[in-house]
Amino acid sequence: MKILVTGSNGQLGNEMRVLASNDAANDYLFTDVNQVEGLETQYLDICDALAVRDLLMAEKVDVIVNCAAYTNVDAAESNELLAEKLNAEAPENLAKAAAAVGALLIHISTDYVFGAEPYNKPCREDQQGTPTGVYGLTKLHGEERIKAVGGDFVIIRTAWLYSEYGKNFCKTMMQLTASKPQLKVVFDQVGTPTYALDLARAIVTIIADYEQERAASLTLGLPAASSSAAQAYSKRGIYHYSNEGVCSWYDFAKMIQQTALQLAFPNAQQMAQCDIRPCHSEEFPSPVKRPNYSVLDKTKIKETFGLQIPYWTDSLKMCIENSKNLGQ
């Protein structure tokens, strides 16, 4: 199968590259608007609807994995038009192009679609989105536009994404604890970290399921995916994915510190000297109120695709070990 990955130089895109390097059965095309030295990347602006469609048709793409987005939550408040363009209009471009060529769109969304009010129980896929900021609102708009197109799609909402690559909470904490004697981290925001490599593996599982279903349809003599009479993917819809377990940002920071020391990460001794203290969210004023309870109900994705999701502390250990091996 031909798999196109957008935003391929970010956290999730890089983890897709890792998995692709060991996947001889599929052909991956990695795209982005930015070039990174050492990474083979084809330029693609997903805001350009014609360019998107032309590339999908030329490359005969079977699956799109959309990792691209405007993710600066605070900056989105003063860049609403740009956020809407990247988070809503661009996904619609991808959905329309995917429908035109009979491809599956796998789109990454966020827990921010649920807003800042505490739910006190894991959020379900069918729960109404009530975003309080521009970022969450534009991501919700993206979901709605994809669904309105009517093609095959899988939307995956995730939360607290981190990896060895890019900018994220884990890497920031490792840098700060190695250079500062004391840090304050909020304890009144609760959720579940998501290791991007685990999410990438889940995506690959979904792609394999889609390929299997499509192959079965062809065996039965049903219309090809590119045909207007083609049967829709039976598992299309919205899903939630994060690692298992629940923690606060403070818990996450402390576990990063402890795990780095356990694995003898470079600078771990300096990191261990940092005094990480819990604090209230009010001590870090922000243009957007963060979700107080950001735990996602993952029952649907586990039952539908048979996923075994790792506990967050186990995945954190793997990430830090991989970072150590990469010399980061």
With a pLDDT cut of 70, the percent of the chain lying above it is 95
Across 160-180, average pLDDT: 96
Cα 124 from Cα 234, distance rounded (Å): 20
Q: List, for residues 79-111, the tens digit of each pLDDT value.
A: 999 999 999 999 999 999 999 999 999 999 999
- Annotated catalytic residue 239: no
| Confidence grade of residue 213 (pLDDT, cut at 50, 70, 90) | very high
Residue 185 three-state SS? strand
Q: In the prediction, which pLDDT does 290 show?
A: 84
Cα 134 from Cα 74, distance rounded (Å): 9
Active-site entry in 70, 112, 135, 239: 135
CATH number of 2-167+193-243+293-309: 3.40.50.720
Q: In the prediction, which pLDDT does 228 show?
A: 47
For the chain, the domains span: 2-167+193-243+293-309
Residue type, 300: K
Least Cα distance to 203 among 20, 53, 7, 9 occurs for 20
Q: In the prediction, which pLDDT does 167 show?
A: 92
Q: What is the reported pTM? A: 0.95
Q: List, for residues 214-267, the tens digit of each pLDDT value.
A: 998 877 666 655 544 456 999 999 999 999 999 999 999 999 999 999 999 999
Across 159-185, average pLDDT: 96
Q: List, for residues 290-325, the tens digit of each pLDDT value.
A: 888 889 999 999 999 999 999 999 999 999 999 988
The total number of residues shown for the chain amounts to 328
Least Cα distance to 31 among 93, 112, 109 occurs for 93
Across 165-182, average pLDDT: 96
